[in-house]
Amino acid sequence: MNHSAEHSAEKIEGQEPLMSRRAFSQVLFTGVGMCYAAAIGYPVYQYLASPISKASEAAAVNQVSLPDANKLEKGSAMMFKFGAKPGILIHHADDTWVAMEAVCTHLACTVQYQAEQNRLFCACHGGVYDTRTGANVAGPPPKPLQAYKVTVEPTSVVVSKV
Ligand code: FES
């Protein structure tokens, strides 16, 4: 009996380092696994999250300054970026300035300025807008273009949400 007790004690003593080693390996592998997951997961998270954060940053834009846009000739227009969306700035022949979102209210194509017809035209389905008010005047667009406020500065034009 004594012998058997000694034997089992030996057995336990013999097993302990083995268990510890196994436990250690588990911790090690778990740790390594977590590092791999973090190393792979974080860039994936960043990749997925960045367009979302960029989109929300772009949506948060309330004003843009367009350097040298004050030199835009009368009777002409220029495109610009207002956050993620295209905008159009028009300098009319009578020296009035107008800016609007250049996104068609029908199916979101970009509209263009056509000086000779004095209109904003959407080539996708023939939508036509007024160049001063952005009102939808022909074709399928259901509502006017969104107008912006324009401030002409000595070295730029500042366009902001109304
Ligand atoms: S998207 Fe502009 S008219 Fe259809």
C-alpha–C-alpha distance, residues 115 and 135, integer Å = 16
Report CA(69)–ligand 1 centroid distance (Å). 27
Tell me the CA end-to-end span of the chain in Å, nearest whole number. 95
pLDDT tens, per residue, the chain with 162 residues: 444 444 444 455 555 556 666 665 676 666 666 656 667 666 666 666 676 777 777 778 999 999 999 999 999 999 999 999 999 999 999 999 999 999 999 999 999 999 999 999 999 999 999 999 999 999 999 999 999 999 999 999 999 999
C-alpha–C-alpha distance, residues 6 and 30, integer Å = 36
pTM greater than the 0.75 cutoff:
no
The 10s digit of each residue's pLDDT in 101-129 is 999 999 999 999 999 999 999 999 999 99
Minimum-distance ligand 1 atom for the alpha carbon of 122: 2
40, two tokens: 């792979």
Residue 100 burial class via C-beta count within 10 angstroms: exposed 0-12, middle 13-18, buried 19 and up: buried
Assess whether the C-beta atom of 104 lies below 6 angstroms from ligand 1. yes
Report CA(142)–ligand 1 centroid distance (Å). 10
Assess whether the C-beta atom of 143 lies below 6 angstroms from ligand 1. no
Containing H/E element for 21? helix 2-59
What is 63-161's CATH number?
2.102.10.10
Q: Contact at 8 Å (CB) between 146 and 160?
A: no
What residue segments make up the domains of the chain, in order of their start?
A: 3-60, 63-161
